[in-house]
Amino acid sequence: MGPAPRILELFYDVLSPYSWLGFEVTRGSRAGSGLQGQCTVRHRLPGSRNSWRCPRVLCRYQHLWNIKLQLQPALISGIMKDSGNQPPAMVPRKGQYMFKEIPLLKQFFQVPINIPKNFFGESVKKGSVNAMRFLTAVSMEQPEMLEKVSRELWMRVWSRDEDITESQNILAAAEKAGMSTAQAQHFLEKIPTEPVKNKLRETTEAACKYGAFGLPTTVAHVDGKTYMLFGSDRMELLAYLLGEKWMGPVPPTLNARL
């Protein structure tokens, strides 16, 4: 028996594109499930001759490192408010940079991310509170479904530019993730309940207590110490902290422990 796995907490919101990148790198999807099901087309970077196909088996670091990943659905608007931070697009050049960089990150991370047409004007204003409460309800009763439902919500807002605020759209994502209509309806009814609202508030506050000012926020518990890392660009530093090997955002599947 090897040493006990280190606990990693990944705080995320499906409204945050960088949360998706961090989620896929740490969590990834197993053979025969999840992302590759939705992503069989060849992608092409504008102006580039090269295209790529989402790998059939994404075996990312949850299978490669000695970690136990805890997905923590949180509310990005709550974290921004509590920390006094503002979305990057409040500085116009940061917003422009983000929109130029995401197509590169799409290729680099092999995540089928596309920029919504009016993200800051529409998606951010509509928010993600119902979607994140839905995920919170799932995490409380059926945590094994949390990964897939989260991914399907990202696929809606950050890949196909579809709504995630209306009940029927949250339902559609849950069903696409493999839930029955009855199950999905059950979780939808939990959205306005106090236990779910409180749990999402508590998770968001927990992120803030760790010092979060945005998402994704990763909290690593290593040798009795706690390290908080911000952003999808800190995964290599995370590997260093864990004493694990970093092989880029799409590690070779040959080395997987599967």
Residue at token pair 């940079």: 97
Using CB under 8 A as the binding rule, the residues of this chain from 33 to 92 that contact a copy of itself are 47, 83-85, 91-92
Among 228, 244, 253, 256, binds a copy of itself (CB under 8 A): 228
Token code pair at residue 193: 């309940």
Q: Which stretch binds a copy of itself (CB under 8 A): 6-14, 61-69, 104-112, 152-160?
A: 104-112
Among 124, 246, 253, 256, binds a copy of itself (CB under 8 A): 246
To the nearest whole angstrom, how small is the minimum distance from the Cβ of residue 206 to a copy of itself?
14
Cα(144)–Cα(198) distance, rounded to whole angstroms?
Answer: 21
Where b means 16+ CB within 10 Å and e means fewer, 126-165 reads ebbbbbbbbbbbbbeeeeebbbbbbbbbbbbbbbeeeebe
To the nearest whole angstrom, how small is the minimum distance from the Cβ of residue 218 to a copy of itself?
12
Q: Enumerate the β-bridge partners of residue 221.
A: 7, 226
Q: Report if residue 105 touches a copy of itself, rule: CB under 8 A.
A: yes
Of 107 and 165, CB closest to a copy of itself: 107
To the nearest whole angstrom, how small is the minimum distance from the Cβ of residue 147 to a copy of itself?
25
What HEC string does 125-166 produce?
Answer: HHCCHHHHHHHHHHHHHCHHHHHHHHHHHHHHHHCCCCCCCC
Within 10 Å of residue 105's Cβ, how many Cβ atoms? 19
Look at strands 42-44 and 67-73 and give their pairing: unpaired
Of 29 and 232, CB closest to a copy of itself: 232
Among 121, 143, 195, 248, binds a copy of itself (CB under 8 A): 248
Among 66, 94, 118, 193, binds a copy of itself (CB under 8 A): 94
Token code pair at residue 100: 């130029």
Of 193 and 240, CB closest to a copy of itself: 240
To the nearest whole angstrom, how small is the minimum distance from the Cβ of residue 220 to a copy of itself?
11
To the nearest whole angstrom, how small is the minimum distance from the Cβ of residue 183 to a copy of itself?
38
Q: Which helix (H) or strand (E) segment is 220 a member of?
A: strand 217-222
- Cα Rg of the chain (Å, integer): 18
Using CB under 8 A as the criterion, what x/- string covers residues 120-139 for binding a copy of itself? --------------------
Q: Report if residue 31 touches a copy of itself, rule: CB under 8 A.
A: no
Q: Enumerate the β-bridge partners of residue 8.
A: 69, 220
Q: Which residues bind a copy of itself (CB under 8 A)?
A: 47, 83-85, 91-94, 96-97, 100-101, 104-105, 107-108, 211-213, 225, 227-231, 233-234, 236-237, 240-241, 246, 248
